[in-house]
Amino acid sequence: MTPVSALWGTGSFQEFREPEPNGNLMQKIVTGTIAGAAGIALLLGGAGSFALWNDTASVPPATVDSGTLTLSANPDGVWTDITNGRSDVIDISAVRMVPGNLYQFHQTMDVEATGDDLTADLTWAPQSITGDDELVAAAEQSLTVASESASLQPAGRTAWTVTPTEGTSVLDVTYTIGLSSEVTTGKAQSIDLSGLTFTLTQKPIES
């Protein structure tokens, strides 16, 4: 009769254990489930810090530059008495013009124009020269504008067309005023030249 507590094999002895009750088995299963749930929670790290895959990429580096359109008067304006062939530099504010006198003002202006599709109009208004009516009517006045730059082209008596160019284009402005020897009006009056203004305006881009 074989004992319940032992089994004989090939020279070795093994203790025989009876199966544990079902309650212990359930406890191990529950413990394993709780540990597994805790591991999942650790992997997630909390809902607030969970991140999906992402990546970034940059476009090739580039810049866009704007052009220029500027007009500036140089501080080289000078008045000259050109009466009967003179060429004397004068202070125009100290002059008292009489019939037969002729005076001339010369000044340069710089124009800078760069940019694709850029064209502009350079204009001035002779009527902006004002003063006492009799003297304005009696005075002989002329305004001429000249330039050696190919980017400045005449477009009428009081306008020029400006096109882009590298560097600065120079505009020569010459204003002449005088009274003929036959004038008998305009005594003790004045003419105001401060309102003479040149305007540089871009033209709309054509389609």
pLDDT in tens, 123-164: 888 778 899 999 999 999 888 889 999 899 998 878 889 999
Q: Rg of the chain over CA atoms, in angstroms?
A: 49
pTM of the model: 0.64
Per-residue buried b or exposed e for 91-123, using 16+ beta carbons within 10 Å of the residue's own CB: eeeeeebeeebbbbbebebebbbbeeebbbebe
pLDDT in tens, 5-33: 333 444 444 444 555 555 555 555 555 55
Bridge pairing between strands 159-162 and 78-81:
unpaired
Share of the chain above pLDDT 70, in %: 75
